[in-house]
Amino acid sequence: MKRLAAVVGACLFASLPATSSPARAEAYITVLTGGTSGVYYPLGVALSNVYGKALPGAKVTAQATKASVENLNLLQAGRGEIGFTLGDSLSDAWKGNEEVGFKTKLEKLRTVAAIYPNYIQVVATKESGIKTLADLKGKRVSVGAPKSGTELNARAIFHAAGLAYKDFDKTEYLPFGESVDLMKNRQLDATLISAGLGVAAIKDLSASQEVTVVSIPADIVAKVGDAAYIAETVPANTYPGQTEAVPTAAVRNLLVTHSGVSDDAAYAMTKTLFENLDALAAAHVAAKQIKLDAAATQSPVPLHPGSIKFYKEKGLM
């Protein structure tokens, strides 16, 4: 039935006259997001709603996933039209880094836009006594879902800090929401979350008990040795009880598509994205950091020709 629906959709759109709007160029648009307790998911749902209203005739859905690595593999396989990813995961996908989940080079990937930075946020319960990265030794730590963008960030940051998973008393591979639930139940001491600022799971945790946002000093960020990682700051009062700014690391997020998506469709998706940033910002504060003037930069993967057309119209290329 799915194959039949795809054939019917393709025939329908193939029959449209040549003057049809670019917005009608794709019969289906699946937005690949992340876990429901992170930032990708609410932004992806908001983006799918925007596309559903602005692109007449397209069937638009948002799909919850394990985020970056799964999204990129799905896009390579043609099982989605646009998805969220971290910049370092995208670089690994383009190179075909099998260790982190890419069996071959994902050469069909194309960039739509560089968007907001992911802040790598290490959060510990106050009662654990954890104040620095070194204090994580011998503690119970969650590092994100296996081979997710978050977990790849955890490997990089902990390695730069001279830590390995074997140094922890227990290492859990859990998404944000489940990590926080275990911390609430005193079954975990800390978690690393890679997401935009204002993560709902961290707000939820810090509203129920005292927490510490652990510093990632700039010298540790530099030791990662990857240009995708930059020194940043979690501003004061981002979370309840966090009264001071905290140094941390950040990695740029991107929206990615694949070469099988038509130029018209990629153009329409890019244009619609930047014409509706207010709707995305209403879904999550992280979207306020999406800037058009930075969108065509900072990607290890070529831009889609349809996106290039939009950026040229805006004088950015």
Mean pLDDT of 111-124: 95
Q: Assign residue 173 the CATH number of its domain.
A: 3.40.190.10
Residue at a domain's end among 251, 266, 283: 251
Over residues 195-247, the pLDDT tens digits come to 888 888 999 999 999 999 999 999 999 999 887 898 999 999 999 999 999 99
- 217 plus 278 within the same structural domain: no
Please determine, for residue 275, whether its predicted confidence score (pLDDT) is greater than 60.
yes
Q: Domain span at residue 89? A: 2-13+22-116+253-313
Name the β-bridge partners of 190: 124, 141
- 39 plus 126 within the same structural domain: no
Give the Cα separation of 132 and 235 in Å (integer): 18
- 237 plus 196 within the same structural domain: yes
pTM comes to 0.78
Share of the chain above pLDDT 70, in %: 92
pLDDT at 184: 95
- 92 plus 144 within the same structural domain: no
Over residues 158-199, the pLDDT tens digits come to 999 999 999 999 999 998 999 999 999 999 999 999 988 888
- 257 plus 247 within the same structural domain: no
H helices present in the chain, as ranges:
2-14, 40-54, 68-76, 87-95, 149-160, 176-184, 200-208, 218-223, 263-275, 277-283, 305-313
- 227 plus 258 within the same structural domain: no
- What integer best gives the mean pLDDT of the chain? 90
Q: Phi first, then psi: give them for residue 244, nearest 5 degrees.
A: -125, 150
- 243 plus 297 within the same structural domain: no
- 99 plus 127 within the same structural domain: no
- 207 plus 280 within the same structural domain: no
Over residues 129-143, the pLDDT tens digits come to 999 999 999 999 999
pLDDT-derived band at 149 (thresholds 50, 70, 90) equals: confident
Please determine, for residue 298, whether its predicted confidence score (pLDDT) is greater than 80.
no
- 53 plus 150 within the same structural domain: no
Total domain count for the chain? Answer: 2
Residue at a domain's end among 202, 218, 251: 251
- 239 plus 177 within the same structural domain: yes
- 264 plus 227 within the same structural domain: no
pLDDT at 3: 39
pLDDT at 264: 95
